[in-house]
Structure 1
């Protein structure tokens, strides 16, 4: 039985109130070819629960899970080992409180965890203040751009050509509604990032410069000179980090002059899970910018009896204050993923994170050395952490598909990430983590040798 509480008169009144002549007017932003004109072909109109379960189980068996293959995929989502203790701890009763506490001070377990999470992210990023998380890295990137506009009162955004293309697309999509001018660039297959070219695009109207660190090709840009150039023009530097484990080995973006640091926290505590949910991280280097941050902040205080307690210190989102005064329409933080991140980070500690980062880099170097012994294969990067770009001399998309059929997930082809740039077609982005074995590396090398022969 369908639940349709509205009558046709109700719908007509609602459409008239918002100035739409019919339902189709609400979908004008969806391309015509993407709209359904009827039921989905091949799907029955109804089926029993048992039949649906069996069908979905058959479909799931077609998946090649990360744990069942030699796995070298990265590009913003990384396979790391998450200790079983993380899942155990996040299910403890202390944390089974209101997911979004509307009377927050009652939920002391949630608030304390978020306070510790913020402290960890701030230290990891080299910043003064971090918020209680965002949806994911790409939306955090846009929120940083919007914040920079509020701080500088400017509308021009300079994107590095080596910013993850999905992050760049999110920024461009959201900018349509804010009338920000997005100055993007094409990536270049060269050993080091083109800092000079990026700096040359900064002008007196620029609100911010967005740089990925390490970048989409695995290179590690010098943020210091970019920060100096941006600040000289009155702009802010936004650093995007998609692999937080890297910050156990390289300097933090805040330490190098980034004003806003955002990124994806999935690598720590959160498995790949076939695409989500993930965890957006957001921090600022200068406390004076705190009130322009999106989301919410948890703080530490004392109660009337002098006992330590936690409060919702700042909440600038539209769920809590008048909509026109909100800095963001983000309606929640990724609370469960933030908890998993914080638990995993606590289990690691500083020494553990540095050791994990060192192991990632060691195995990546082994992989790069082995793969460059294959005739016609070269490594693009001068420097990298656990991800680097190979030049194969032929279309990497075809190579990736062939190797996937052999049970080897070789990496992400640049042709897939940048389909409009044929000059990148022979690039293959390879990621190596502590879960990669030397046997996996040899499996990839041997299979790649056969395919390229």
Structure 2
């Protein structure tokens, strides 16, 4: 899009209208130490030159790497139908469905998404308006604080550390007490968490599979929450929910997830989708919007915004959140992805991902000095310890075209040699074999 600057005459007219003589006078209230050092910008380029420059920069990105990187974000196959349908103009340009009479398509899509997500997670209610998995977890935390009028949050250290950093950031100016229960060699310490829950606890935050890939059944732990009138919150991995016991079956009050694995490509940090579900008793605390289905005076089906508790809609002090936004396009991609694969397709993607991870674990632990950190059942992700620093191994393999995983030492100081490895249905056994041989060579 071309940019046409103001003429000198237009600038003088605007300054005269404001009542100042120069641009410098306009910014006189800003102290000199807070002003930009210089406005000496490079000369502009033509559209053709800009495109040539940006294409050259984009070509420097390595797009041919074989990646075993996960840590909450996964490279699953996305059916071509997802792009074909969600790029249609009526979906792609739609934003907030404030006028139901003009937004029936968008409202129905959100309603169908809510239905699919509640079935996937075994919960009763869902919204479609949270940025990402970490934000959804924060919103769940605040739901619990409002519901219980308590400020203590019990957190498993096996919860995604990226999310824990986000929680600390969002609550830095709030009177929230975090009690973090350490992991045990990559395992969620269920007994430690249970002991930490008491009559002052607002919420328990856990993850399944946890950050290290380990699978748990939190039914008894959630019962302990219920006995202490605390809110149980679980962060889930949507793809594996077709194989695992659902949050609803475990008795969770709130279940959240990162929806990227459902039809959203890994693309330099986004877009992401915060999946958020809860029981009916918690729905009044849920942020964002909930779409409902009804009938008009002539008996025709219609869709409406049944519940919207944002500061734009109600008195600010009664709003549940002011940071949620409309994620309907990302939610639509997740819906189309789930519908395109169907129940059997989702289960197959999950099953193959898990099978490939177990094959990979066997191949890697056959290498001298490589041992499993993850004990017990795991999904499509697992942790190993290496005889060298994980960063060193990552550097050696990445330069040869293979990204071996996530360095656990980035967030866990005692696991500098720990490597988190993920597989999906896109990971071939041939790639696993090459990865194992390359790692074996790198460790010599």
- Give the TM-score of the pair, scaled to structure 1: 0.88
Matched, 1:383 2:377: yes
Does the aligned pair in 1 maintain the 2:92–2:329 contact within 8 Å?
A: no
Does the aligned pair in 2 maintain the 1:97–1:110 contact within 8 Å?
A: no
2:291 is paired with a residue of what secondary structure?
strand
Figure out how many residues of one structure are paired with residues of the other and give that number: 430
2:334 is paired with a residue of what secondary structure?
helix
Matched, 1:151 2:147: yes
| CA–CA distance in structure 2, aligned partners of residues 238 and 188 of structure 1 | 20
> Which of 322-331 and 117-126 deviates more?
322-331
CA displacement, residues 144-193 of structure 1 (integer Å, 9 cap, x when unaligned): 00010011110111111011111111111111232211223444424x32
Q: Which residue of 2 aligns with 1:318?
A: 311
| CA–CA distance in structure 2, aligned partners of residues 24 and 328 of structure 1 | 37
> Which of 318-327 and 90-99 deviates more?
90-99
Pairing partner for 1:121 from 117, 129, 153: 117
Q: Which residue of 2 aligns with 1:296?
A: 289
CA displacement, residues 55-105 of structure 1 (integer Å, 9 cap, x when unaligned): 33232222222xx22211100110000011110011235535631122134
Does the aligned pair in 2 maintain the 1:317–1:329 contact within 8 Å?
A: yes
Matched, 1:396 2:390: yes
Q: Which residue of 2 aligns with 1:223?
A: 218
Q: Which residue of 2 aligns with 1:440?
A: 431
Pairing partner for 2:414 from 412, 419, 423: 423
Change (3 A) 1:24 1:351: farther
Aligned positions of 1:108-187 closer than 5 A: 108-187=104-183
Q: Which residue of 2 aligns with 1:269?
A: 263
Does the aligned pair in 2 maintain the 1:318–1:331 contact within 8 Å?
A: no
| CA–CA distance in structure 2, aligned partners of residues 430 and 156 of structure 1 | 33
Aligned positions of 1:355-366 closer than 5 A: 355-366=348-359
TM-superposed deviation, 1:326 = 0.8
Change (3 A) 1:299 1:23: farther
Pairing partner for 1:370 from 338, 359, 363: 363
Pairing partner for 2:88 from 88, 92, 117: 92
Bigger radius of gyration among the two: 2
| CA–CA distance in structure 2, aligned partners of residues 251 and 126 of structure 1 | 9
Q: Which residue of 2 aligns with 1:18?
A: none
Q: Which residue of 2 aligns with 1:346?
A: 339
Does the aligned pair in 1 maintain the 2:97–2:107 contact within 8 Å?
A: no
Does the aligned pair in 2 maintain the 1:318–1:330 contact within 8 Å?
A: no
- Give the TM-score of the pair, scaled to structure 2: 0.90
| CA–CA distance in structure 1, aligned partners of residues 57 and 139 of structure 2 | 37
Aligned positions of 1:71-86 closer than 5 A: 71-86=67-82
Does the aligned pair in 2 maintain the 1:71–1:440 contact within 8 Å?
A: no
Pairing partner for 1:408 from 396, 402, 410: 402
| CA–CA distance in structure 2, aligned partners of residues 260 and 303 of structure 1 | 32
Q: Which residue of 2 aligns with 1:104?
A: 100
2:275 is paired with a residue of what secondary structure?
strand
Q: Which residue of 1 aligns with 2:51?
A: 53
Residue ranges of structure 2 left out of the alignment (5+ in a row) = none
Change (3 A) 1:105 1:283: farther
Pairing partner for 2:301 from 302, 308, 315: 308
